[in-house]
């Protein structure tokens, strides 16, 4: 499962990671505290981004728990 793989990676590399998924660099935030910090400090940088197809697949088309 992708979420289990990302959880294992975050245990090894910490709550903030940059992954290269094909040609796209993806930022993965795996803790609530880090997500709050990133989204508050860099909200303008994330506001205009589109949702990539790979994210939709990892999120099971918004049907995940």
Given a contact cutoff of 8 angstroms between Cβ atoms, the answer to whether 10 and 17 are in contact is yes
Is 0.75 surpassed by the pTM of this model?
no
Is the pLDDT score of 33 beyond 60?
Answer: yes
Is the pLDDT score of 56 beyond 80?
Answer: no
Chain mean pLDDT for the chain: 79
Is the pLDDT score of 58 beyond 70?
Answer: no
Q: What is the pLDDT of residue 26?
A: 83
Rounded to whole angstroms, how far apart are CA atoms 51 and 61? 11
Determine the number of helices (DSSP H) and then strands (DSSP E) in the chain. Answer: 4, 2
Sequence spans of domains, the chain: 2-62
For residue 42, what pLDDT band results from cuts at 50, 70 and 90?
confident
> What residues are paired with 63 via a beta bridge?
none
């Amino acid at each position: 499962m992708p979420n289990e793989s990302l959880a294992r990676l975050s245990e090894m590399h910490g709550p903030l990671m940059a992954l290269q998924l094909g040609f796209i660099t993806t930022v993965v935030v795996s803790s609530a505290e880090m997500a709050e910090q990133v989204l508050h400090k860099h909200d303008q940088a994330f506001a205009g981004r589109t949702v990539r197809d790979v994210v939709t697949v990892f999120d099971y088309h918004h049907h995940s728990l």
